[in-house]
Amino acid sequence: MKQLPILILCAFLTACSDSNQQVDSTAAQASISWFDGSVTEAFASAKSLDRPLFLYWGAVWCPPCQEIKHTVFKSRRFISQTESFVPVYLDGDTEKAQALGEKFGVKGYPTMIVFNPEGREVTRIPGGIDISRYNDVLELSLNSITPTADLVKRVVSSPETITESHLKQLAFYSWGQDHTALPRDYSPELFLAMSELAGDEVSKARLFMQYLYEVASAHETSSGDPDADNEADPKLELVAGAGEKVNKILDSDDLILANWDSLAYYSTELLPHIAAGETRVTLEDKWQTRLKALSDHESLSVAERLAGILPSLELYFLDDEDRPLDPELIQWVLEATHSADSVTKNSFARQSVVNQINHVLQASHLMDEAKNLLLREIERSPSPYYFMSSLASIAEKQDENVVALDWRRKAYENSVGSATRFQWGANYVRAVIRLQPDNEILIQTTAIALLDELQSNSDVFAGRNFRVLMSLNQQLNSWQAERGPTLLAEFKTTIDRRCQEQEKGSVKATNCATLESQRSDISNPVR
């Protein structure tokens, strides 16, 4: 299953204006009173005040983070709601942030978690919902402090105790970011059971779409990429009644908008499990037509309006990646992206919108247009290194490996923040290994250059940093296994020394042990 684009991982659909700044005028100067103190102190304060805690995890370069800051976080109702919580803003580049991210099970930027006054996680709020629903879910979290994990257990053991409010909480949980609230041996049918319990049509539809997503994911895990034509894949079974239920969703503007995250981003993954033959062709046409009709809806942000194009593009190229683009489709793409670009003036809001434009242009195979957009944007973006990485990806797709590496290097050199610099530096080293595996001198020098980040980063063995380090270490080991034992000895020595500095029994020490157990010894590679 393809990963959600970073825009949608936790971006929120908000009503939009010509500047992408949809905020209440009376609250334009207002702001959230984020807790001033450590995270530990914040949880203590929440307990003493008997208030839930709202944790926002973000990063300055993250496109959806910027959209949230300049839309959701400036909403008068949202600001008012946070007064009933202890609101905590945790930037991923601050000291100990990665360790805290690992403690809370954070997988990506941005993440929003609600904890009860006792410090237990209640829910995670997903992306892809309009601001009014987002506020409703936050209010629900204030009034219902039953952890999602407990609700899941009750769905299985005592479904008669589950209320519509409970089902709404389950429907608007961020399942795409976190599955820890589910039993280890759960099956997709768990979400079907939730859907069938729901009386509210929005909750019913969202839980059913999550069920379809889980079915598609399970199929991919067991058999590889799902075949686009289910008739050619006898192992791919249609979900009973799915066609009728999805048609009902597509008949309703409200249900489409409530399920925009699934419908806009997962058409090619979900459709093979819904319908076959002529029925599928008809459903595909309806899917595209209805999202196109709603792609300028006032409840959608500038960035999310563009997502309405994606099903048409992905279905168009599904069977033939080299298919010439239809002129009408080209015109739609170019007009929509140009409009989004021209109306978005705020430099921080542009981080989200330009990222989505780039995504749509690449999905359209308009690589030169995407490249020109990004080249212009790095001149004014407050976080240009993010778009430098995108330029590197485009160059790599066009087999311009030297250009791609140059952009990876520039992205690393221009990056800011301890976690960000380590992660961007690792991306550069991995790109060198991937694109120039025979360039031993460059690989050694780039890996050694990363040692400064290893030595200065106190959270290198925690959270997102550690996942990046694990991936990098595996690639370095695989590369060196063919070349001799001493090329990267300094890199290994530095990691070992840093591991020895970690407190015994700590999460970081445990991660160090995992790192050691999952890698071959650089000094004595297995041949």
Whole-number Å distance between alpha carbons of 183 and 205: 22
- In a shared domain, residues 209 and 129: no
Q: Are residues 170 and 195 in the same domain?
A: no
* For helices 418-435 and 440-449, angle between their N-to-C axes, nearest 10 degrees: 170
3-state secondary structure of 54: strand
Cα–Cα distances in angstroms (integers) from residue 478 to residues 305, 447, 466, 481, 527, in the given order: 43, 14, 18, 5, 10
**Is 369 part of any domain?**
no
Under a CB-based contact definition with an 8 Å cutoff, are residues 8 and 128 in contact?
yes
**Do residues 214 and 302 share a domain?**
yes
DSSP letters along 193-223, please?
A: HHHHH--SHHHHHHHHHHHHHHHHHHHHHHH
- Are 122 and 148 in contact by the 8 Å Cβ rule? The answer is yes
The verdict on 137 and 196 lying in the same domain is: no
Residue 445 is which amino acid? Answer: T
Q: Of all helices (H) and strands (E), which one includes residue 287?
A: helix 277-294
**Averaged pLDDT of the chain:** 86
Residue 30: name the closest of 85, 66, 73 by CA: 73
The 3-class SS string of 441-470 reads HHHHHHHHHCHHHHHHCCCCCCHHHHHHHH
Identity (one letter) of the amino acid at 46? A
136 lies in the same domain as 202? no
Can you tell me whether residue 506 is helix, strand or coil?
coil
Domain assignment present for 418: no
Give the three-class secondary structure for 89.
Answer: strand
- Is the sign of the CA dihedral 106, 107, 111, 116 positive or negative? negative
Could you tell me the two tokens for 525? 């590679």
Tell me the C-alpha to C-alpha distance, in Å, between residue 521 and each of 35, 485, 524: 45, 9, 5
Together in a domain, 216 and 70 = no
184 touches 149 (CB < 8 A): no
Which of 319, 344, 359 finishes a domain?
Answer: 319
How many domains are contained in the chain?
Answer: 3
According to DSSP, residue 519 is labeled S
Calculate mean pLDDT across residues 293-308. Answer: 91
Structure confidence at residue 223 as a pLDDT band (50, 70, 90):
low
The pLDDT, as a whole number, for residue 459 is: 84
The answer to whether 46 and 117 are in contact (CB under 8 A) is yes
From CA 484, how far away is CA 82, in angstroms rounded? 57
Please report, for residues 148, 228, 429, 430, 519, the alpha-carbon distance to residue 434 in angstroms, rounded to integers and kept in the order given.
41, 29, 9, 6, 18
Percentage of the chain modeled with pLDDT above 70: 87
With 80 as the cut, is the pLDDT of residue 140 above it? no
Instruction: Look at residue 234 in the predicted model and tell me its pLDDT.
Output: 43
Amino acid identity, position 417: G
At 377-393, the pLDDT tens digits run 999 999 999 999 999 99
131 backbone dihedrals φ, ψ, rounded to 5°: -65, -35
Same domain, 44 and 166: yes
**Residue 520 backbone dihedrals phi, psi, to 5 degrees:** -80, 155
Q: What is the CATH number of the domain that holds 36?
A: 3.40.30.10
DSSP tag of 239 = P
pLDDT tens digits along 173-210: 989 878 888 998 899 999 999 999 999 999 999 999 99
SS3 label, residue 38: coil
Model confidence over 469-521: pLDDT tens digits?
Answer: 889 988 888 888 877 666 788 888 888 888 888 888 888 888 888 887 765 44
Instruction: Write the DSSP string, 297-359.
Output: -TTS-HHHHHHTTHHHHHHHTSS-TTPPPPHHHHHHHHHHHHHHHHH---HHHHHHHHHHHHH
Over 80: is that where the pLDDT of 122 sits? yes
Q: What is the pTM of this model?
A: 0.87
Could you give the percent of the chain with pLDDT greater than 90?
55
Tell me the DSSP string of 98-157. Answer: HHHHHHTT--SSSEEEEE-TTS-EEEE--SS-BHHHHHHHHHHHHH----HHHHHHHHHH
Summarised one tens digit per residue, pLDDT across range 152-179 is 999 999 999 999 999 999 999 989 878 8
214 with 301, same domain: the answer is: yes
* Domain encompassing residue 167: 1-152+161-180
Domain match, 106 and 6 both:
yes
What mean pLDDT comes out for the span 14-39? 57
Please identify, among 271, 294, 319, the residue that sits at the C-terminal boundary of a domain. 319
